[in-house]
Amino acid sequence: MADLLYGRNAVREALRARRRAFQRLLVSAGAQETGTLGEIVRLAGEIGVPVERIDRRELDRRLLDANHQGVALECGDYPYVDLDD
């Protein structure tokens, strides 16, 4: 089951940690890719995550009008570790 993370800080930290498998980064078309969003796109490029620019309304639809801040990341489940490990 894939997760869909959204919001600039959550997506940036997931990309920085590199603990999950990433399928693609969704970015609102027309968003200015500077600052945090620019860093997110750069990080995605460095680790080979495809970047897809989609209409903001499509992001709204996929995330049920959540405050996504123009970015979402499709990724695998978080790799939890057992206490025994």
- Report pLDDT for 54: 96
Residue 79 identity: P
**Cα 71 to chain center, whole Å?**
6
CA 75 to each of CA 9, 32, 40, 50, 83: distance values in angstroms, whole numbers, following the listed order: 15, 23, 14, 12, 24
Backbone φ, ψ for residue 7 (5° rounding): 100, 140
* In contact, 59 and 72? CB cutoff 8 Å: yes
Residue 69 identity: Q
Residue-wise pLDDT tens digits, 29-39: 989 999 999 99
CATH topology of domain 3-75: 60s Ribosomal Protein L30; Chain: A; (3.30.1330)
Residue-wise pLDDT tens digits, 57-81: 999 999 998 999 999 999 998 888 8
Q: Where are the domains of the chain?
A: 3-75
Judge whether residue 1 has pLDDT over 70. no
- Report pLDDT for 82: 81
pLDDT confidence tier of residue 2, bands split at 50, 70 and 90: confident
Structure-token pair, residue 46: 């460095």
